[in-house]
Amino acid sequence: MQKLFSTGLVWFRRDLRTHDNAALATALQQCDQVHCVFVFDRTILDNLPRSDRRVEFIWGSVLALDTDLRSLASEDTPHTGLIVRRAIAETEIPMLAQALKAQAVFAANDYEPQAVARDASVQAALEKQSITWVGVKDHVIFEKREVLTQMGKPYGVFTPYMRAWLARLNDGFLPTWDGSNAKKALAARPAAFANAIPSLEALGFETTNLQSLGLLPGARGGEQLLADFWSRLEAYDETRNFPSIKGPSYLGVHLRFGTVSIRQLVRLALPLHRDGRTGASVWLSELIWRDFYFQIVANFPHVAQGAFKPEYDAIAWEQGAHAEQLFKAWCEGRTGYPLVDAAMAQLNQTGYMHNRLRMVAGSFLVKHLGIDWRWGEKYFAQHLNDFDLSANNGGWQWVSSSGCDAQPYFRIFNPVSQSEKFDAQGKFIKRYLPALAALDAKSIHAPWLAKPLALEAAGLELGRDYPLPVVDHATARARTLQRYGAVKKAPLPKEGEGA
C-alpha cells in the first residue's frame, strides 16, 4: 500500500518515548522512511541557570530515546537514532526538513501560548517549502474544544467537566499507538547529521543532584515509578495528602516530558474506577484535572498573563521593599511557619513539592503575605521539575481565588492547623528543618507558642535558630478579607475570549 509521504521528520518535544507515541506512530504509518529529531531550543535554554534539574532530566531522556530508537531500527540501518541539535527550533526545523527532503513534519500538539505561536511560525515556514505540518494529539486525552458544555462552550468548572469527560470517553480516545513497523521505516541519518549527542556540559549546563534524588530519566524511569505506585494505588485516596508518607505517584515530571503515556495511565486506572476502587477513582480525577487545565489554557490563553476572572486583576497587592522582603523570606523558607518553610525547603533542595503543600505554601504567599500570585507562579516555574504552565497557572489561580473553579476568596488556609492535620508528628518538618527536629509534636507546628522550657529542651532560640513568624495569622486573614472585599463576584470569560 502506497504511503502518503516518501520521507517524514518526527520532531520530539514533550513526548520523549517510543512506546505509545502518537507522532512517531503516525509518521511510521504515513511515510516510507522516517527521521527523528530533538532540538535543545536556545529560545528556552539560554534563559535558564547552568544548574537546572529539568535540563539534565531532558538530556538523560534524550539519550534514552536515542537508544530506544536504535533498538527499533533494522540491523541493516546502523546509523539510525536521533538527530540532536542545539539551535532555535523555530528556524532549525524548517531548515532540517528541507535538508532531509522531508515532505512532512510530525509533532505532538502543544497548547501553551508561546508554543502555539512557535508552531504556527514553523508551519508557515514549512508551507512555503511545500512541506506538510502534521500535528497530533499525544499528551492529553481530550484537547482544546473536544469536551464542551451543551451550549457549545468550554468548561470553567471542574466537576461538570469531569462528568462530561468520563461520559465521552471510549476506546477511540485511548488508542495504543503501535510502532511495530519502525524496523522498516526508521531511516539512517545522513552523514551531515550523524554527530554524537552533545554532553550536558557542551550544552552549557552542569550536573545537578538529580541522580542522588533517585529521579531516573527516560521511559524506564517512568516505568519504575509506575510499577512502584501500582502497589500503593489502592490507598492513594488515604495517603496522598500526607507529605511524610509515600502516597503520590511522583510521575509528574514524566508526564511533563512525555516519558510516560497519559493514555497508558488512564487505561490502567479506568477499569478500577468503574469497579468502584476509590484509590483509582481519586487518581483518575487528578489525571482529569490535568486535561482540564490544558483546555483552560487552550481556550482562555489570557490566563497565562492575568486572572481567569479579569476583575481579580484589580486587587491591590503589596508592593515595595517590604513586599520584596516578605517574598524573599517565603522563597528561602524563612517565614516562621514550619510547614510552609519545610515545603519551600523541599522545593529548593529537590525541585519537587508535595501537592498539598503547593496549596498551603501558595495560599500563604497570597493570603497571608498579600503578594501577587504571579510572583509565586514564576518562582515555581523556575524551580519545579514538573513545571507545566497549565497546571502551575491553574494551581496558583486556585489558591488566589482568581481562577476557574477556585476556592472562595474567604477560604484562607491556616498553616498551623494544616500542619497539625497533615503532618501531625512533624516528620516532614523535621526532615527539611533540622533546627526544629528536637521539638515535641505539639510545639513543632507553631514554635512561637511553645513554652520556654520546651524551646530550651530543644536547644532552640527563636530569632537565632529559626525565625519568628513574619506575619500574624489573624491579622493577615483580616487584611486579606479587606483586600478581596473590593472584588465583586467575577463572571466567567465569554466563549471565544482569546480562544
Residues 336 and 285 in one domain: no
Question: Side chain identity at 389, as an amino acid letter?
Answer: L
d(CA 232, CA 216): 20
Query: What sign has the CA pseudo-torsion 390, 395, 396, 402?
Result: positive
Q: Which of 234, 311, 318, 355 is catalytic?
A: 355
Residues 262 and 388 in one domain: no
Residues 332 and 466 in one domain: yes
Residues 280 and 382 in one domain: no
Q: Does any domain span residue 209?
A: no
Residue 303 near residue 296 (C-beta atoms within 8 A): yes
User: Domain total for the chain?
Assistant: 3
Q: Where is the domain boundary, 299, 331, 363?
A: 299
Q: How many CB atoms sit inside 10 A of residue 49's CB? A: 9
Residues 358 and 322 in one domain: yes
Q: Does any domain span residue 194?
A: no
Residues 124 and 162 in one domain: no
- Residue 133 bears catalytic tag: no
**Helix axis angle, 113-128 to 89-99, nearest 10°:** 30
Q: Which of 177, 283, 330, 373 is catalytic?
A: 373
Q: Where is the domain boundary, 277, 299, 321?
A: 299
d(CA 226, CA 237): 17
Residues 287 and 343 in one domain: no
Specify burial of residue 153 (Cβ count, 10 A radius: 0-12, 13-18, 19+): middle
CA-nearest of 66, 73, 4, 11 to 36 is: 11
Residues 232 and 314 in one domain: no
Q: Which of 177, 375, 396, 398 is catalytic?
A: 396
d(CA 384, CA 368): 22
Q: Does any domain span residue 190?
A: no
- Residue 11 bears catalytic tag: no
Residues 334 and 396 in one domain: yes
d(CA 167, CA 321): 51
Q: Which of 289, 311, 414, 420 is catalytic?
A: 289
Range of the domain at 155: 139-174+219-299
Q: Where is the domain boundary, 257, 272, 299?
A: 299
Which 3-state string (H, E, C) describes 158-222? HHHHHHHHHHHCCHHHCCCCCCCCHHHHECCCCHHHCCCCCCCCCCCCCCCCCCCCCCCCHHHHH
Q: Does any domain span residue 214?
A: no
Residue 67 near residue 17 (C-beta atoms within 8 A): no
Residues 39 and 128 in one domain: yes
Residue 429 near residue 342 (C-beta atoms within 8 A): yes
Q: Does any domain span residue 195?
A: no
End-to-end CA distance of the chain: 40
Residues 371 and 290 in one domain: no
DSSP letter assigned to residue 98 = H
d(CA 203, CA 75): 31
Q: Does any domain span residue 499?
A: no
Q: Which of 286, 311, 318, 495 is catalytic?
A: 286
Q: Does any domain span residue 451?
A: yes
DSSP letter assigned to residue 387 = -
Alpha-helical segments (H) within 368-490: 373-383, 389-399, 415-422, 427-432, 452-457, 473-485
Q: Which of 143, 241, 311, 317 is catalytic?
A: 317
Residues 17 and 30 in one domain: yes
CATH code at 292?
Answer: 1.25.40.80
- Residue 355 bears catalytic tag: yes
- DSSP track, 60-87: HHHHHHHHHHHHHS-TT-TT-SEEEEEE
Q: How many CB atoms sit inside 10 A of residue 339's CB? A: 32
CATH code at 29?
Answer: 3.40.50.620
CATH code at 345?
Answer: 1.10.579.10
List the pLDDT tens digit at each of the 499 positions of the chain: 789 999 999 999 999 999 999 999 999 999 999 999 999 999 999 999 999 999 999 999 999 999 999 988 866 666 678 999 999 999 999 999 999 999 999 999 999 999 999 999 999 999 999 999 999 999 999 999 999 999 999 999 999 999 999 999 998 999 999 877 777 788 888 888 888 899 999 999 999 999 999 999 999 999 999 999 999 999 999 999 999 999 999 999 999 999 999 999 999 999 999 999 999 999 999 999 999 999 999 999 999 999 999 999 989 999 999 999 999 999 999 999 999 999 999 999 999 999 999 999 999 999 999 999 999 999 999 999 999 999 999 999 999 999 887 778 888 999 999 999 999 999 999 999 999 999 999 999 999 999 999 999 999 999 999 999 999 999 999 999 999 987 855 444 443 333 2
